[in-house]
Every structure is written in C-alpha cells, then in structure tokens.
C-alpha cells in the first residue's frame, strides 16, 4: 500500500519553491488568453536565473518566448548591461511577453524578433551576433537545428539549456516514434555526446538539457 504521508520528489520541490506575484500573474494571463500552459516549471526557472548569474552571461538568446515567464527568470540573472534577444513565432505572444518584461523592469533589456525562428537565427548569424547563454523552448521538430545554430552563435564557454526533453513521457515510450519524438531523442543524445559540448540531462519534471560549449 502507498503511504499517504509520502509525496513525490517533484511535488516536494514544488512546495518549497514559491513563485512571486509577477510569475503567478504571467501564468494566470497565459491561462486567461487560452495560450499553451507550457512555461518552464518554477524550479527550472530559478535554475535559469542562477546559471546566468553564475556564468556571468551578458547576452542571452531565447528561442520561444510564450508569455515571458522564462524571459523574466533569465532577465533576473542579468546585470544592468545584459541583453536578451527572444525569438517568437506569434506576434501576440511576443507582445505579451514584452509587456511582462516591462512590468518586471527589464523591458529595455529585451528585443523580440517575430517570425520563424530558423529565419531569425540565420539573420543573427549574418549579423555576426554572439551569445553567452541560450534557452531552447520552442517547436520540437527543429530542436536539432536550434542546437546547431546555438553552437555556431556561441561565445566560448556559453551555456545551452533546452526544455521538455521527455515530452510528457512520450520520449520514454519506445512505441512512440513520431518526428518530434525522434528529433528530441536525437537532441538529447547529442547534448551528452557531441564533442563540442560538455552536457548532461536533468530528468525531473519534463526534463532539462544543460550543456557548455567548449572553448
């Protein structure tokens, strides 16, 4: 029999990590607008803040803005001279995310580029842009392409984080082999095996990839 006084590890951690009023407001607005409720979980949001602080990152590239939850978390790790470029397909999502970044006091430190991320990434490469930190949280079919661009656009020692590695359990189901699932499985494999990276995978919640680009 299951002990009713024993809770799961993720539930335990969720109880310890409290979201502040702004982060809760972002999630509520996303819900009210009928947007996908797929923001990074609070524990990983706090991890993004910490990683940017620890690495001293000044230039951040976010692929997938949604409502700005992860953007706020990352901006909180930046210094006053830091900047985020965020790529978002949906104009309304980018507008809402920017509104939330302004509420958080970081509106002037973020630039949104709207449209297909692959086009924006190509443009960033043409511009000679370089980044210290990447957060990948967009369409899974392009995760491998996003990873390649991140490596190309990385300053030596840059950190790459990728969310939703488990696809709510679909990655683990060997009977499921759709294109997005296969793309994420290969993304996970490359994070830990690509010779250009030092990487690992965190299995809690829906999974998070972390890698450092070798200098």
Please give the domain boundaries of the chain with CATH numbers for all domains: 9-213 (3.40.50.150)
Angle, helices 42-55/9-16, rounded to nearest 10 degrees: 70
d(CA 174, CA 13): 29
Question: Which ranges of 20-142 does DSSP label H, i.e. alpha helix?
Answer: 21-32, 42-55, 69-75, 91-103, 117-127
> Closest Cα to residue 11, out of 37, 39, 42, 36?
42
Which residues in 81-196 belong to E strands, given as ranges? Answer: 83-88, 110-114, 131-136, 154-163
Q: How far apart are CA 9 and CA 13, in angstroms?
A: 6
Q: What is the pLDDT along the chain (215 residues), one digit of tens a residue?
A: 457 778 888 888 888 988 999 999 999 999 999 999 999 999 999 999 999 999 999 999 999 999 999 999 999 999 999 999 999 999 999 999 999 999 999 999 999 999 999 999 999 999 999 999 999 999 999 999 999 999 999 999 999 999 999 999 999 999 999 999 999 999 999 999 999 999 999 999 999 999 999 98
| SS3 assignment, position 201 | strand
């Amino acid at each position: 029999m299951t002990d009713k006084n024993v809770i799961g590890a993720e539930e335990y951690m969720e109880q310890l990590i409290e979201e502040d009023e702004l982060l809760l407001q972002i999630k509520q607005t996303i819900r009210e607008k009928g947007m996908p409720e797929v923001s990074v979980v609070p524990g990983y949001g706090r991890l993004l803040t910490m990683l940017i602080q620890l690495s001293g990152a000044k230039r951040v590239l976010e692929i997938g803005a949604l409502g700005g939850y992860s953007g706020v978390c990352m901006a909180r790790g930046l210094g006053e001279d830091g900047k985020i470029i965020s790529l978002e397909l949906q104009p309304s999502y980018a507008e809402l995310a920017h509104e939330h970044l302004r509420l958080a006091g970081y509106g002037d430190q973020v630039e949104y580029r709207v449209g297909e991320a692959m086009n924006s990434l190509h443009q960033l490469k043409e511009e000679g842009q370089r980044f210290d930190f990447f957060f990948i949280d967009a369409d899974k079919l392009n995760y491998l392409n996003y990873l390649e661009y991140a490596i190309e656009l990385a300053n030596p020692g840059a950190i790459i984080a990728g969310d939703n590695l488990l696809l709510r359990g679909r990655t683990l189901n060997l009977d499921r082999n759709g294109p997005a699932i296969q793309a994420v499985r290969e993304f996970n494999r490359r994070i830990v095996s690509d010779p250009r990276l030092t990487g690992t995978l965190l299995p809690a919640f829906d999974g998070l990839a972390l890698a450092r680009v070798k200098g």
